[in-house]
Structure 1
């Protein structure tokens, strides 16, 4: 688990994550509420970058902003490859994909209920 100051709610963290993704032109951003589905996190955010370089850049800037704004030290996996980066921000798990890789794994289908609306504040 990552070190997140207790005064930072998962809703505040989610807002910061979505704002960062919007700033960096992430595409097809989806926020999935995991309350009642999993105890690993409160939310999962899935986004795409147009290239491996953009995926790595989006991920790097996101982790820098979370550390600067919230004091959140995130765990990051996959940044060097740039196909799929997983960012563990404690109460929120962020996945940033290249579109082809996202389509292959289809995490939204795994975690969203049938008919559940795509929820993102971007």
Structure 2
């Protein structure tokens, strides 16, 4: 049986500076050596993702683009589990030389933390 389609659509992206600023101003944080994840309840119906991958921290475009691809793919695979929050992912220096498996494990840990932190009260 084929896996269900989980596209990463344009509506699931943070695009404007004001959207990023809102998350930076009022957010919950989860950090490790590779990433700092900031989340804020969006009031919408879907989770949205914003990326902040600094050249100064990560290095050249090849490294930055690899990390962005891994983040987007991990988000796409976990989006059905995530609450309706705005998420900003900041890459930290540990991500620069980390292999793909380490990055994926780090992101999975962060997604679990986001689910716990932002779950609706029961």
| Same fold, judged at TM 0.5 (above) | no
Structure 2 length-normalised TM: 0.31
| Bigger Rg over Cα | 2
Structure 1 length-normalised TM: 0.31
Of Structure 1 and Structure 2, the greater helix share is in: 2
